[in-house]
Structure 1
């Protein structure tokens, strides 16, 4: 039996061009924007696309490297752990909230001008951060840098959909996938390089050479579109006023929740309660708006809905499988970033090969993206299941096998998600899809951090209590010549070590459950699609 092509018929009817047009009622209020003129695919366009790719990587590296080097940054500024957590929280909150609105401003001020402006702003704030005279000034600089960084990744999907021919679209999306896989994996190695051998300031300044290269490539490669300032006449002010604080408050609550004891803190209750209320208002407004930031009607497409829901679980998995080994090795064996860097490099470098290969696989008519994503999620589940058997004797070498599975699993899942979300999507819908996709991606990373910290703290306390209870009725006998307080200290260290091991195993089990949820959605929600260059299903045999 021949499977219906969702680009033309079937349950994925929303993918058809007529279903993607605004509803007649909305057309009367705000006429649809004309599709941008097709630009010839030349070498200059390739240079511009590479500039956009490097700009997105710049934003990811700026985020990941500063987070990995935060201990050295705190030491340089003589600030404590609690104050240091706000450097990450404020940056992430501004970063996530900005991605909601960046595509709209990118179209209004043109992709070329807007991206170059955001890169220059990120470079400027990064240059100034090490010279901040006090902590409040550093907080403000990090907020502005988060806003600038949040403008960059959404632009890459838009230009890929607009400028790449159908035959090359999946390869362009493979470049975007680097920002979700390759970029974060480079965070720890680069942080180790700068802090161990150069200077902690390079955690902020590393983006400057790459930023200059990005600006030159984008300026020379991308065509200059006219500025569309008339779009401000229909600007969605309610969406901005409700959406920006909503996402910022929710991210802040997730990242500060564990430190402030979650709902025992009035501040966290305010962040979650106020953020959730504003988010509801924002989503209702977006549904009714003729010119929204989020086009929620895209969720009528089954593959788009499946892509976003699977992306949520996948990003949680990516953050989890990267964070658990590093935390375990640091707490149990006192590894520094330089010693955990080989784990990240083992994953990052092969991705430069497996991502294009996965794109080539999905670019054939035979490949079914549903099977591809199912295989990838199964490998992720296997990784977490194997990790749950860890012991205190595990060292860095024991994690190499788990990372090897991720080299295959991550491209299979991420590329299949991107294919499902973007196939059949016209360039005029690209900004809406980019805003929703990137916001879900970065928000899921905040959820993953909150989940790992919250579950990790709770389970570590539980295991510590259980281990102490088991020793409660056993007399502590110090050996000959051993100091009794010293023996107590050794015992406390062993209890803490074992609690960390058990907690890490529990976190792997939680990640395995997370992998199962999108895996169970595969036979239910998505429908068969074909590569962007293919508009009709293959003939029945």
Structure 2
């Protein structure tokens, strides 16, 4: 076997020709010292990694808190609902599109300089948002802030793959998993805190103190890298020109589709058709370009392909199990973010313990990450199946026992995916893996939001029509109902209430079906891998 291949795959092959030469005591001692040194994580570097984690979390919190506090922001600026939706859409479109290209710029301009610059831009633009003199200016500020926020999460995976020792690599990935689980769950409590007790402006300004801490930690902790400005001479202009508008158009189509009636709208049809054609051209360009942003050849690795595929299902489930209870409680019982905060904190706080604990379990050589993912998907399916039995009498407390299952399920699924995607990757492949992983994650988040909104609207109309038809076709029931109810407004309210309950139950069933579907992929596509510290582990291909 080729020695280079042996080092790449991590497989051990016995020597057939002769026994290994004896190693002197001094050489053995030097080897032990080198291994021990590689296994340590210097305190200064750990501070830099924490700064990168906080920077990624800052981007997620900025996105989630402003989305939850959007009603108060619209009220402060006297913006209507339709105009207000563009504040989220423009931010998300540039946020997702930027993640494709951010790793290339991070490597070229150095991770330290690029990340600090992006954090400063997010802080500055966020500080200016409450002072926007008109709606157009606010649109521009949010669009630019989406670009800056899109630069941050991809940097965390690159740094983790480059600097973390094998023994602690999974714990570093657990930190990244916080941005997909803990960060979104913390958005509602923070939005409730600022809008109810402080000021709506804090939805934009909350990132300033956290951003200062990030910049100091990154500046002091990460080692300096030389600038690689010569890479601009071979910049993939064709990929950038095709890819950025393609992804932005698709995200805009997804987030505005439900409001504009999907393909019945010429605008939405143009966004989808134009975005899809540009994206296909982008993928063709990336396959043949010598310096791509997406290294599509990585999909030949079975665990990498499975990780991205399962990530689609996992993000959809995370968005669904978080959105369905909140929407139900807001529409049926009039809950504001303050009243749904305990439900979010029930998941967010224990994740600080559950994620490192899951990483510790996966760091054991005896544990198969495929079983961990399968158990997590089973728990998610169970949560959604039980939620499908909800009634109009359910209040916040009825969701506690459902959400508590997510404390165990979410870390098992996300950590299993991260382990499968990153194990066996060369450090030079880190930027490509980061670009593809983060783009899939954020794009799926937008698609999941569109799925819940579109399917929710469709099912709500269906159930409302069925309830009205049933009521109208039964003369006796109609007479009793109208006689028992003071006015038709109360009757309409009850019909709407029941339609919302039935729609929420339908959404839970769809989420359960998604969990089961991805569960069946686990025994087929991924292969057995071992923790990063196991040098004798088989290849993750």
* TM score, norm. by length of structure 2: 0.91
Partner of 1:30: none
Partner of 2:345: 345
User: CA offset at residue 517 of structure 1?
Assistant: 1.9
**SS, match of residue 179 in structure 2:** helix
User: CA offset at residue 474 of structure 1?
Assistant: 3.7
Sort the Cα spacing of 1:263 and 1:480 in 2 relative to 1 into closer, same or farther, 3 A: closer
Contact persistence 2:157–2:430 (CA under 8 A): yes
Partner of 1:101: 101
User: CA offset at residue 535 of structure 1?
Assistant: 1.9
Partner of 2:520: 520
Distance in 2, matches of 1:324 and 1:355, equals 23
2:426 aligned with 1:426, yes or no?
A: yes
**SS, match of residue 536 in structure 1:** coil
Sort the Cα spacing of 1:480 and 1:101 in 2 relative to 1 into closer, same or farther, 3 A: closer
Partner of 2:186: 186
| Unpaired runs of at least 5, structure 1 | 1-6, 18-37
Partner of 1:92: 92
Partner of 1:143: 143
Trace 1:82-481 onto structure 2 (pairs within 5 A).
82-475=82-475, 476-477=478-479
Sort the Cα spacing of 1:39 and 1:213 in 2 relative to 1 into closer, same or farther, 3 A: farther
**SS, match of residue 393 in structure 1:** coil
Contact persistence 2:91–2:146 (CA under 8 A): yes
Distance in 2, matches of 1:395 and 1:465, equals 26
Contact persistence 1:15–1:301 (CA under 8 A): no
User: CA offset at residue 426 of structure 1?
Assistant: 1.4
Contact persistence 1:15–1:425 (CA under 8 A): no
Distance in 2, matches of 1:465 and 1:518, equals 33
**SS, match of residue 391 in structure 2:** coil
Distance in 2, matches of 1:185 and 1:464, equals 31
Contact persistence 2:10–2:536 (CA under 8 A): no
Contact persistence 1:380–1:409 (CA under 8 A): yes
Moved over 2 A (4+): 13-17, 38-41, 473-482
Instruction: String of CA shifts for 1:443-497, please: whole Å, max 9, x gaps.
Output: 0001100100000000000000000001113444479998x8x421110000000
Sort the Cα spacing of 1:118 and 1:471 in 2 relative to 1 into closer, same or farther, 3 A: same
Distance in 1, matches of 2:342 and 2:291, equals 47
User: CA offset at residue 41 of structure 1?
Assistant: 3.4
Instruction: String of CA shifts for 1:240-280, please: whole Å, max 9, x gaps.
Output: 00100010000000000000000000000000000000000
Sort the Cα spacing of 1:332 and 1:14 in 2 relative to 1 into closer, same or farther, 3 A: farther
User: CA offset at residue 518 of structure 1?
Assistant: 1.4
Count of aligned pairs: 507
RMSD after superposition: 1.8
Distance in 2, matches of 1:435 and 1:145, equals 19
Distance in 2, matches of 1:173 and 1:39, equals 16
Of 467-476 and 312-321, the range deviating more from structure 2: 467-476
User: CA offset at residue 516 of structure 1?
Assistant: 1.5
User: CA offset at residue 329 of structure 1?
Assistant: 0.2
